Amino acid sequence: MTATMKVGPKGQVVIPKAVREELKIQPGDDVVVDVVDGEARVRRCADQPPLLGLLADGGPPLTAELEREHREEIERDERRQAAINAGHMW
């Protein structure tokens, strides 16, 4: 299917009804425009599952792990600095 459209003053184009129906594009849907070999190709975005709550039951909070690693890093740095201050090579 081929359709001709005009670009409006804001750079917008209206996708013709026949194309929207063929691609099952509804008002509010997201579309992707790919530029391939100098051509713009419009396609409907794949249905995406909602992201809200996606990681809710994914295990322990990552912040706890990051805080533990950060504490270990600080302790390691403090031991290294204490050894340097005591005149020992690290």
Q: Given this model, what pLDDT does residue 2 score? A: 86
Q: Given this model, what pLDDT does residue 17 score? A: 93
The answer, yes or no, to whether residue 75 has pLDDT greater than 90, is yes
Q: Residue 36 pairs with which residues in a beta bridge?
A: 39
Buried b (16+ CB within 10 A) or exposed e, 25-61: beeeeeeeeeeeeeeeeeeeeeeeeeeeeeeeeeeee
Q: Given this model, what pLDDT does residue 59 score? A: 63
**Residues 25-38, mean pLDDT to the nearest whole number:** 91
Domain boundaries, the chain: 14-45, 60-90
What is the pTM (predicted TM-score) of this model?
0.47
Buried b (16+ CB within 10 A) or exposed e, 12-22: eeeeeeeebee
**Residues 59-82, mean pLDDT to the nearest whole number:** 87
Q: Answer whether 31's CB lies under 8 Å from 12's CB.
A: no
